[in-house]
């Protein structure tokens, strides 16, 4: 076994370098200051700067975007998957620049994507050919488009733990594992990097229960294989509950209906024909050329794997076909009836997003077949090369033709609009203008003198001077997690019904107002679920460790022979 593990270990290091080099290539446009500025760029850049500012103040996992909604704030960081911003914020504390930290995190994600792509392909493809996997994965046209044209940075980085998840569930050892610890951990990381990608991974993993039908002659139904996907999904969701549970169970506190009213799936199918005529198309590049290349390569690659006579590929055929098949079917307009149902599928918003699942699988589908189907193999390689060519053309287009040069210097974070879906439910719908709500603050209309607020390790604080005692409206949106102390004494707060701002009783004269974030009950419950799941996985890992297994064998050897029989 050691002589097999050593080349894989060496190849893994080389795959890391290849992935990093591809990631650096993709980031050339950004490194040279060419950025395609759109709504998503602004959202992710502003949120990354919110995390960096909060971490500089001592808050390692902020829940409130202080400068959003014209400086009145929004709880968007409670609801948006945190890991991309956490890593970006930590790196920015070292390099001193948020934009540079974002690129470092994305290059590191590409390096790890290359590594996991190699580890997956090395299970089935020996030799140097496996080192092509990092190139095919990191230069996938959809991934490059996400980095450069769509600016979906967390979405793009989520493909890295997704690749780890695919490796964990498709490796031969996974066939006999009821509790697949690497798969559970990778699914949790995917969810906490980009929730929608995690949701898609859950949806396309569910058909793996069909693998339970491929049992042996004595037991046609393999109960371990039937339960394994359920345990993996439940374990991954439980491990990510520290973020996921409060994000989903407290959505009544925000205007989350915007997610489904502003974004509908019917104009975002891959390879649309009827729906394109009926509803139009949202992003033609994603929906036709990129979708066509990726779907054609996946279908042809899966077909060739089924025709292979290599026994090593036998365990791979059904699971990879089920995963890729589910992703493709849900991506195209044949799945239109399913999108009419009010189910978690609608939270994916755009059907073509399911092609994200194919990104870490395509290298395996392209490289694994090696039989005598010469013309089919040539077509498959042409499709793979067409995908890389699309990625390179996207990179050239972003660098030369489209990229702007926004001011990304690190000055103080200005106020920005924020997102309507994160408006608190205490904000009246007629208060659609952030300026109107801001003017409702007594700090703005002159009833109260307020110094510039400053961040603290748990929230925000500022000094005020009131000419007389009274109930004042403060320039901060109300949210149940806020707790206020005035000069160290707790004070009750509520929401002003006219504006949704925090309202509190202040004494006359100068005061120090300190708003601290106290975790919601949903946050505490999510932390408890994740902690319990983590402890359970640690105990399972210890039970599987060599000393424990050796002790079990030693005890068994001491049993009388007739008991063992």
- pTM equals 0.93
How far apart are the C-alpha atoms of 387 and 296, rounded to whole Å?
11
pLDDT over 90 at 369, yes or no: no
pLDDT of residue 344: 86
Residue where the block lists tokens 């439910």: 425
The pLDDT of 503-510, averaged and rounded, is 96
Average pLDDT over residues 519-530: 98
- Pair of tokens at residue 373: 């189907």
pLDDT at 259: 74
Q: Please report the pLDDT score of residue 3 as a whole number.
A: 44
Q: With bands split at pLDDT 50, 70 and 90, how would you rate the model's confidence at 546?
A: low
pLDDT, position 258: 78
- Check if the beta carbon of residue 353 is closer than 8 Å to that of residue 150: no
pLDDT of residue 563: 41
User: Quick one: what percent of the chain has pLDDT higher than 70?
Assistant: 90
At residue 436, the pLDDT reads 61
Class of domain 427-517: mainly beta
Phi and psi angles of residue 261, each rounded to the nearest 5 degrees, phi first: -90, -35
Over residues 522-547, the mean pLDDT reads 93
Cα–Cα distance, 413 to 239 (Å, whole number): 33
pLDDT tens readout for residues 147-194: 999 999 999 999 999 999 999 999 988 888 899 999 999 999 999 999
At 80-107, the pLDDT tens digits run: 999 999 999 999 999 999 999 999 999 9
- pLDDT exceeds cutoff 90 at 432: no
What pLDDT score was predicted for residue 327?
97
Which of 67, 73, 71 is CA-nearest to residue 50?
Answer: 67
pLDDT at 5: 52
- Ranking 2-6, 62-66, 113-117, 251-255 by mean pLDDT, the lowest is 2-6
Chain region(s) in the chain for CATH 2.60.40 = 427-517
Given a contact cutoff of 8 angstroms between Cβ atoms, the answer to whether 74 and 37 are in contact is no
- Does residue 135 have a pLDDT over 50? yes
Kindly state the percentage of the chain with pLDDT values over 90.
70
Checking if the pLDDT of 220 tops 70, the result is no
CB atoms within 10 A of CB 476: 27
């Amino acid at each position: 076994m050691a002589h097999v593990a050593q080349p894989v270990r060496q190849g893994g290091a080389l795959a890391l370098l290849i992935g990093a080099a591809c990631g650096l290539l993709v980031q050339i446009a950004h490194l040279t200051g060419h950025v395609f500025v759109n709504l998503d760029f602004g959202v992710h850049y502003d949120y990354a700067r919110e995390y960096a500012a909060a971490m500089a103040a001592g808050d390692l996992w902020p829940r409130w975007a202080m400068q959003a909604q014209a400086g009145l704030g929004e709880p968007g960081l409670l609801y948006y998957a945190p890991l991309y911003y956490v890593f970006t914020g930590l790196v920015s504390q070292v390099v001193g620049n948020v934009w540079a930290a974002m690129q470092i995190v994305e290059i590191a994600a590409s390096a790890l994507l290359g590594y996991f792509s190699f580890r997956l392909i090395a299970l089935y493809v020996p030799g140097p050919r496996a080192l092509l996997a990092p190139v095919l994965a990191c230069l996938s046209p959809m991934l490059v488009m996400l980095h450069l044209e769509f600016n979906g940075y967390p979405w793009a980085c989520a493909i890295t733990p997704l690749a780890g998840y695919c490796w964990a569930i498709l490796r031969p050892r996974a066939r006999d594992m009821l509790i697949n610890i690497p798969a559970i951990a990778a699914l949790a990381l995917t969810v906490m990097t980009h929730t929608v990608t995690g949701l898609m991974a859950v949806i396309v993993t569910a058909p793996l229960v069909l693998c339970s039908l491929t049992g042996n002659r004595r037991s046609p139904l393999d109960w371990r294989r039937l339960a394994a996907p359920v345990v993996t999904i439940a374990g991954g969701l439980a491990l990510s509950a520290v973020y996921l549970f409060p994000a989903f169970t407290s959505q009544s506190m925000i205007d989350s209906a915007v997610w489904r009213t502003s974004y509908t799936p019917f104009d975002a199918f891959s390879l649309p024909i009827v729906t394109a005529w009926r509803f139009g198309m949202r992003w033609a590049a994603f929906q036709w050329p990129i979708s066509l290349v990726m779907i054609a390569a996946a279908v042809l690659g899966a077909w060739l794997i089924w025709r292979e006579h290599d026994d090593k590929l036998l365990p791979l055929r059904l699971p990879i076909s089920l995963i890729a098949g589910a992703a493709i079917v849900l991506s195209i307009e044949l799945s239109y009836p399913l999108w009419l149902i009010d189910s978690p599928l609608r939270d994916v918003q755009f059907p073509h997003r399911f092609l994200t699942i194919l990104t870490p699988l395509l290298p395996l589908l392209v490289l694994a077949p090696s039989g005598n189907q010469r013309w089919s193999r040539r077509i498959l390689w042409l499709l793979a090369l067409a995908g890389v060519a699309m990625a390179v053309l996207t990179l050239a287009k972003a660098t030369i033709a489209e990229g702007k040069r926004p001011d990304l210097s690190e000055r103080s974070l200005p106020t920005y609009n924020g997102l309507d879906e994160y408006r608190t439910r205490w904000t009246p719908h007629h208060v659609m203008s952030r300026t109107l709500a801001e003017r409702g603050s007594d700090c703005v209309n002159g009833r109260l003198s307020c110094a510039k607020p400053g961040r603290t390790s748990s929230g925000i604080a500022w000094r005020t001077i009131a000419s007389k005692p009274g109930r004042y409206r403060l320039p901060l949106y109300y949210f149940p997690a806020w707790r206020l102390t005035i000069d160290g004494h707790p004070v009750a707060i509520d929401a002003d019904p006219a504006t949704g701002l925090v309202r509190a009783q202040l004494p006359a004269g100068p005061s120090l107002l300190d708003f601290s974030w106290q975790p919601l009950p949903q946050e505490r419950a999510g932390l408890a679920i994740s902690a319990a799941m983590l402890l359970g996985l640690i105990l399972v890992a210890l039970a599987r460790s060599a000393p424990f297994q050796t002790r079990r064998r030693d005890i068994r050897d001491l049993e009388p022979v007739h008991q063992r029989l």
